[in-house]
Amino acid sequence: MTDIEEVKKGTTTIGLVCKDGVVMATEMRATMGTLIAHRTTQKLFKIDDNLGLTVAGVVGDAQTLARYITAEVELYKLKRGQQMTVRSAATLTSNILAGSRFYPYYVGLILGGTDREGHHVYALDMVGGAIPDDFVTTGSGSPYVYGVLEDHYEKNLPVNDAMDLAIRARQAAMRRDSASGDGYAVASITKDGFAVLDEKEIQKRLAKLKLS
């Protein structure tokens, strides 16, 4: 049976609180043991204009949860006429995970976004724990990411600089963790909404950082 240690295997996901928003990033490799099963796996999801989700763990569980949370957030917005706050979305996700304890979702999640209270990221585990922090990383590449973030992260980083930092940290994981690789997904969430970096922009940043 899969356990919490299994959920930690494969994947590198990152969430950073910035001065003017949140940055979230993942890579795109899916593994089955030592086999690289897919090279274009979606691990970063837009939940709403102000909310994003990164996923590590079992792909089917992650995709199901992303759809589930997106639907609940949309229903909330339709009923109340306003966006769900990040804390409420984290509580919703925590309740979904905790309520499935006997048939758990084998995932590790980062939920992040911006609202009238500020900018936030939450780490969520497979049994419903939800912990806010300034920066979070999950997956097998996380030790390498933490090494970069502990040295370079500053709470008042502008979003633009935080995207470069997320790319640098993601590159460190790719170099040392065989389960992380095959591309980048990077998004910012600000008062202007949810925006994903395209491949051309990512390559420009890699060249500027001398990482390409």
Tokens of 202: 């990512």
Percent of the chain at pLDDT > 70 equals 90
Alpha carbons 69 and 95: distance in angstroms, whole number: 11
| Residue 169: Cβ within 10 Å count | 27
Please identify which residue in the block is written with the tokens 């691990």: 43
Q: Three-state DSSP class for 157?
A: coil
- Residue 101's pLDDT is 74
Task: Say if CB 93 and CB 130 are below 8 A apart.
Answer: yes
Higher-confidence residue of 66 and 174: namely 66
The torsion defined by the Cα of 99, 101, 103 and 104, in degrees rounded to 10, comes to 100
Percent of the chain at pLDDT > 90 equals 67
Alpha carbons 10 and 2: distance in angstroms, whole number: 13
Tokens of 6: 């299994």
Residues noted as catalytic: 11
Q: Three-state DSSP class for 115?
A: strand
Distance of CA 23 to the CA centre of its chain: 9
- Residue 211's pLDDT is 85
Alpha carbons 101 and 48: distance in angstroms, whole number: 26
- Residue 94's pLDDT is 96
Residues present in the chain in total:
212
Task: Say if CB 60 and CB 67 are below 8 A apart.
Answer: no
Cα of first residue to Cα of last residue in the chain, in angstroms, is: 39
* Mean pLDDT of the 163-173 span: 92
- Residue 37's pLDDT is 67
Q: Which of 40-49, 115-124, 203-212 has the highest mean pLDDT?
A: 115-124
Residue 125 has pLDDT above 50, yes or no: yes
Cα R_g (the chain), whole angstroms: 16
For 144-158, the pLDDT digits (tens) are 999 999 999 998 999
What single letter denotes the amino acid at residue 96? I
Task: Say if CB 40 and CB 187 are below 8 A apart.
Answer: no
Q: How confident is the model at residue 75 (pLDDT cuts 50, 70, 90)?
A: very high
DSSP β-bridge partners for residue 14: 25, 137
Structural domains of the chain ordered from first start? 4-208 (3.60.20.10)
